[in-house]
Amino acid sequence: MLFRSEKADYYLRQFIASRTQFSEVEDTDTKNQIAALRQEIHIKNSSSRLVEIVSQVIALTNSKTEGHTLELCAEALEISLPQGTTFHQLATLIDDPETKLKLFQKAISIDHHLWSYLGAIQLFLEQDKLELAEDLLLKLIKVYPTTAWAVNHEGDSHIENLKALIPNKKRLKELSELSSQLIEAHKAKNLALINELSTQLLQFPYHEGQPFNRLATLIDDPLTKLKLFRSEEHTSELQSPCNLVCR
């Protein structure tokens, strides 16, 4: 059975064919009306097909036919629509990270879809691509106030959480790298490097003591071990309510 928009498309083509039999040149108003109608029909047909793809993907989810699902997503990515919501919906149904990201990016490119921004950032965080996550967050912060999503402040809390989370993850990643280097330096008994890395670690701007505690248990040198344990105590004291200071 034909969709209404497909029927409209059929009758429009019949109308255009009949008009060209009478006149080779259409007046401007008629041309504009036909162009607008064609665009409306195209959007409705595309929207119907995308909704159909979403339904098919939902039906295929439990059957684990990932190949066919990815083919449907590839078709969806070729569809042009003025709203990104359905592309976002499709992305949430897909497990493949690469396809999921492409669908999120499609929704973002159409109308700066807030939840697609957040979904793409989360993907980057899961893949430990912190720089990409931070770049996308900065883009979101820049465009967010001008988007429809900002009207009811839907994204405020999410954005604020990410503004704190991403730098913290970057610091933790740097801390992990320094810790690995320090452990290797101890294995090699490289005292100069041990002193250098220990100094960097103890000055590191990370406000949770657990990483220092875990590292201290791996280190043999008593002085370095004591400094790391003290670093944990210091960071714990900073987080204590009685030591919080308004700046």
Cβ pair 214, 206 in contact under 8 A:
no
More confident: 240 or 102: 102
Output the pLDDT for position 239.
39
Q: Distance (Å, rounded) from C-alpha 12 to C-alpha 3? A: 14
Q: Distance (Å, rounded) from C-alpha 47 to C-alpha 50? A: 5
Taking only the tens place, the pLDDT of each residue in 8-62 is 666 666 666 555 554 554 566 666 676 777 777 777 778 888 888 998 888 887 6
SS3 245: coil
Mean pLDDT of the region 72-94: 91
Cβ pair 185, 194 in contact under 8 A:
yes
Measured between alpha carbons, how far apart are the two ends of the chain, in Å? 68
CB neighbours of residue 147 within 10 Å: 16
Tokens, residue 172:
């933790």
123-127, 131-135, 144-148: least confidently modelled range: 144-148
Q: Distance (Å, rounded) from C-alpha 137 to C-alpha 220? A: 41
Q: What is the pTM of this model?
A: 0.65
**CA nearest neighbour of 79 among 102, 60, 101:** 102
Binning pLDDT at 50, 70 and 90, where does residue 87 land? very high
